[in-house]
Amino acid sequence: MSDSVQLVQRYYEAFNRGDWDAMLDCLDEEVAHDLNQGARETGREAFRAFLTRMDRSYVERLEDVVVMAAADGRRLATEYVVHGEYRTTDEGLPPATGQRYVLPGGAFFEVRDGRITRVTNYYNLQEWLRQVGAEA
């Protein structure tokens, strides 16, 4: 279990540093990525493309990260608080003007053979929209 917890902690430490290569190194080549209120993307390269899209529009830091794991270490859950800035308009979302936001989030993980095989992210999109000044 502790190896899986350390893996997820490394993943988030890399996220907070903006070190996408170190973050991707935590992932299985065929990682399943369930986007918040969106579709599933598969593969490390699809995840890299997701990070590129996010990096263009947002600056985020996760604080108060708590990692919880099943006894066998194969499934994990996290809770955290997202502190972010919406810098550049993301397709299909309201215009970005540098709005700042703080909201709780979480994720679920599956781990196999020392790599993350699934990441399912969640945050309250309606609350995010309210904080960036959109009509929810």
Per-residue pLDDT tens for 40-57?
Answer: 999 999 999 999 999 999
Is residue 72's pLDDT more than 80?
A: yes
Residue 135 has what pLDDT?
62
Q: Answer for the pair 75, 114: CB distance below 8 angstroms, yes or no.
A: no
**Structure-model confidence comparison of residues 133 and 58, the more confident one:** 58
The two counts, helices (H) then strands (E), for the chain are: 4, 6
Q: What is the pLDDT of residue 38?
A: 85
Q: Check whether 136 has a pLDDT greater than 60.
A: no
The domain ranges of the chain are: 2-131
Residue 1 confidence (pLDDT):
61
Q: Where does 2-131 sit in CATH, by number? A: 3.10.450.50
pTM: 0.93
